[in-house]
A and B are shown apart, each in its own frame.
Chain A
Amino acid sequence: MSTETLRPLYILVDDDETNNSISRLLIANTIPDAEVVTFENPQNGLLYIRNDFAVDERTRATLLLNLNMPLMSGWEFLDNLLYMDKEVTDRIDVYILSASIDPSDRKRSGGIEIVKGFLDKPLTHQTILTLRNT
């Protein structure tokens, strides 16, 4: 159990199932010991972070969050995340993973402190390696 929880954890929140599958395959083939959890409904992603991730105090995670989602936008997701304990959010590296070419999305995400970066879809092998090394 103790070794398992230390595997690099990736949380993907995107309503697009295809994106999650492809990203999961890319991550798994780039970082073989990575654990990848995916959520098509952002609400379930929040529940996972609050109920599972939060209680395992040794874990760190990389969160890849889409913005344009019908049930709950990435912005609303971030609002909810900010309500959580800082101890929890400090352990998450938040990246936006979006296909949006609207410059205002990039600008807006730059103004949110817990967002470490804006990644253009698709996620690539190279991007995953770069993220791991930062």
Chain B
Amino acid sequence: MLSQSEASLNAIIENAAMLIFSLDREFRYIHFNSLLKKSVKQIYNVDIKIGDVVFDFLYKENPQEASEWRVRYASALGGEAVQFVKETSVGEYHSFFKFHINPITEGGEITGLACVAIDISTERLAEMQRERITRDLFVRNHTLEQYSYIVAHNLRGPIANLLGIANLLEMEEVSRKDKDEAISHIMSSARKLDDVIRDLSDILQAKEQISPHRESVRFADVVSDVTMSIQSAVAKSGATIVTNFCELTGLITVKSYLHSIFYNLISNSIRFAKPGSLPLIRINSKRTAGGTCITFQDNGLGFDLAAHGEKIFGLYSRFHPNITDGKGMGLFMVKTHVETLGGSITVSSEVGEGTTFTIHL
């Protein structure tokens, strides 16, 4: 009778689509189903048997993970029901397991741990995809807002000028000289119109691909590509670029976006250098808890953060009254690219001291 119920219990445990195992107080396997054995083999390449101490192979294979497990087991041995989601990867394949670790109590004493893990990869991957789609939609929506802002505010300007010129040319009493002056403005208006239309196309293209090609990119290569492309500006300004990428040499990312970020920030530092001092640009990378942090620090003009604040990332925003060659697109494109890569950018600055951009990716 007993053996029949034991056999049926075993069959249930064996056939359940979850990892099931139990440990005694010394973390020796009391019981496990074949799915667990298979998973351990896949992940750690270890064959386990009843009586093995779970930490024997865990410490050898992955000491950091082992200490995480020790903390969880310890709380369960203290009487808590412990739940958590764990990501594992075997080769290319990522899976997510939701673990439940509960104390086994016999005669009022905790004698071991009952552990169950359900594969929630499908749900989790769907959730991650949903998050990604939401983020993409958010970014796209923001693009459309910018797009419609340009159409409303910038596209009509040059057209209005052309209409104004036509109006003037229609007036009979206007002198030849004035008409000639008006005609000379046709070209500049048409060119400006052309610029705005090109900008619109740039903005849309910046976010065209939802999942663009990612590759391994070294920061040092990006810096040298950028300085090559603006070689004459760098030489003319006498700028020095000091980089420190020791802690993190590169990233898996979209190369063209990273290039655009470096290009715009470096050329801004040169353009907005402080008169009378040579531009010094420091670029550092480091690892953080959330990923990657890249900082760009210069000794340039700086700006009044309180007065301009977040506006500096806005489209067509220019705020250095004496420097008028910029279009007000650079920082907008930087922010766009950082956000499309799922990151964020912040700025700190002081007038006459310099500016620091911090990018988290």
How many chain A residues touch B (CB < 8 A): the figure is: 27
A121 touches B168 (CB 8 A): no
Q: Check: A59 CB closer than 8 A to any chain B CB.
A: no
A16 and B319: CB pair below 8 A? no
CA distance A122 to B182 in the complex (A): 13
In the complex, what residues of B have CB within 8 A of residue A55's CB?
Answer: none
Report if B57 contacts A (CB, 8 A): no
Secondary structure class of chain B's binding surface, majority of residues:
helix
Across-interface contacts of B154 in A (CB, < 8 A)? 68
Q: Which of B149, B157, B175, B181 contacts A121 (CB 8 A)?
A: B157
Interface size on B, residues (CB 8 A): 33
Contacts of A125 in B (CB 8 A): 167-168, 171
Residue ID in chain B nearest A17 by CB atoms = B188
**Chain B, range 49-104, C-beta contacts under 8 Å to A:** none
B residues in contact with A122, CB < 8 Å: 160-161, 163-164, 167
A41 CA to B318 CA in the complex, in Å? Answer: 12
In the bound complex, do residue A29 and residue B157 qualify as a contact, i.e. CB atoms below 8 Å apart?
no
CA distance A18 to B149 in the complex (A): 22
* A84 interface hit (Cβ, 8 Å): no
Known: A18-B188, A25-B181. A124 touches B317 (CB 8 A): no
Instruction: Give the A-binding residues of B (Cβ under 8 A).
Output: 149, 151-154, 156-161, 163-165, 167-168, 171, 173-175, 178, 181-182, 185, 188-189, 192, 316-319, 321, 328
Q: 4 shortest A-B CB distances, which residue pairs?
A: A122-B164, A121-B160, A99-B156, A70-B318
Since A99-B159, A121-B161 are in contact, a sample of 7 more A-B pairs with Cβ atoms closer than 8 Å, ordered by chain A residue number, is A25-B174, A29-B174, A29-B175, A120-B160, A121-B160, A124-B167, A125-B167
Residues of A at the B interface (CB closer than 8 Å) are 16, 18-19, 21-23, 25-26, 28-30, 41, 43, 67-68, 70-71, 99-102, 120-125
